[in-house]
């Protein structure tokens, strides 16, 4: 399960329905062109928190059908509704996903015992492994080393998607739990995380920059830090330009430049105006 995983985008039509043809094209582009090791499905980048349970199932279906066994697949099933998270975990497991993942429960200020019960309830329902999705900036859930350790006591919890800039905590987790998988979640910090010996990364910009990200990771693993730093600089120039223009709609426009039917973002995300579309095309020309 080690390696680089794309936080997979989903193609939607103008009414917000899943564009199956476009989704299949995104899957194939990531596998065949970006050559990533796996796909992280129905995460934040897939606009997961804007879609219905049935749409989530549809996406799990289409991705598995298109990808087959070409790459590893991780299904993000986390939801505020625990019954839904359990149902999605069972659904993705039955489809043959290699692992499930779940964002920490958010919005309400859950205490750690509630968070732990959330994960254990999901895992009690399936015969599958789970990767914690920790993204404190969006969930407000900050867990310490001891709390990660408590979650890791469940042998089905095999690792964490660590989307946080706290590299002191990252190093402590790496040192304390060498057998658990740690995936870096911030694309712009891939090199820094790789130096701390993470097992891989999961990123949204890998949809268009996967090959370069994989080079950074492999160079760092081989101790070629200077070369990796140069590629991280090039990558961060790309990321800065994308963020300035609008993260998800810009990535979708760049995919369209590459001939991929990436569709639209779901509302309330706004579409790029004409100037934004032009800028996205220029970003693709300058940085890819």
Q: From residue 13, how far is each of 111, 260, 264 by CA, in Å?
A: 39, 14, 6
Residue of 5, 133, 248, 264 marked catalytic? 133
Instruction: Give kind and range of the element (H or E) at residue 178.
Output: none
Q: Judge whether 93 is annotated as a binding position.
A: no
188 is in an annotated binding site: yes
Give the separation between CA 169 and CA 147, rounded to whole angstroms: 12
Residue 14 marked ligand-binding: no
- Nearest alpha-carbon partner for 95 in 116, 68, 71: 68
Burial of 88 (0-12, 13-18, 19+ CB in 10 A): buried
* Three-state secondary structure call for residue 56: helix
Residue 40 among the catalytic residues:
no
Q: How far is CA 192 from CA 54, 182, 221, 288, in A?
A: 38, 13, 11, 22
Query: Cis omega before residue 268 (within 30°)?
Result: yes
158 carries a ligand binding annotation: no
Q: Which of 56, 64, 72, 161 is catalytic?
A: 161
Pair 8, 26: CB distance under 8 Å: yes
Is 204 among the annotated ligand-binding positions?
A: yes
**Both structure tokens of 92:** 């993705």
Give the tokens for residue 178. 């060498």
What is the rounded CA–CA span in Å between residue 195 and residue 41? Answer: 26
Tokens representing 40 are 């992280």
**Annotated catalytic residue 161:** yes
Torsion from C-alpha of 248, 254, 266, 213, nearest 10 degrees:
-40
45 is in an annotated binding site: yes
- Residues that constitute the known binding site for aceneuramate: 44-45, 163, 185, 187-188, 204
- Residues that constitute the known binding site for pyruvate: 45, 202
- Residues that constitute the known binding site: 44-45, 163, 185, 187-188, 202, 204
The residues that are catalytic are 133, 161
């Amino acid at each position: 399960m080690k390696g680089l995983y794309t936080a997979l985008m989903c193609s939607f039509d103008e009414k917000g329905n899943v564009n199956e043809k476009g989704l299949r094209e995104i899957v194939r582009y990531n596998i065949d062109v970006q050559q990533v090791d796996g796909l992280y499905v129905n995460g934040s980048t897939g606009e997961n928190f804007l879609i219905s349970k049935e749409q989530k199932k549809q996406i799990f279906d289409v991705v598995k059908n298109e990808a087959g066994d070409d790459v590893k697949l991780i299904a993000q099933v986390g939801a505020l509704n625990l019954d839904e998270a359990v149902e999605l975990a069972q659904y993705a497991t039955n489809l043959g996903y290699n692992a499930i993942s779940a964002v920490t429960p958010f919005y309400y200020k859950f205490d750690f015992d509630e968070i732990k019960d959330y994960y254990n309830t999901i895992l009690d329902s399936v015969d599958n492994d789970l990767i914690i999705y920790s993204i404190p900036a969006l969930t407000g859930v900050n867990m310490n080393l001891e709390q990660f350790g408590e979650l890791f006591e469940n042998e089905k919890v095999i690792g964490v998607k660590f989307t946080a800039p706290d590299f002191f905590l990252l190093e402590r987790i790496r040192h304390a739990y060498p057998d658990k998988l740690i995936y870096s979640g911030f694309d712009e910090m891939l090199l820094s995380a790789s130096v701390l010996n993470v097992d891989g990364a999961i990123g949204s910009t890998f949809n268009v920059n996967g090959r370069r990200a994989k080079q950074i990771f492999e160079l760092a693993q081989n101790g070629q830090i200077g070369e990796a730093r140069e590629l991280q600089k090039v990558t961060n120039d790309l990321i800065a330009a994308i963020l300035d223009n609008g993260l998800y709609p810009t990535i979708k426009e760049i995919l369209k430049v590459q001939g991929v039917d990436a569709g639209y973002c779901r509302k309330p995300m706004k579409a790029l105006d004409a100037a934004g579309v032009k800028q996205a095309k220029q970003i693709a020309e300058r940085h890819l």
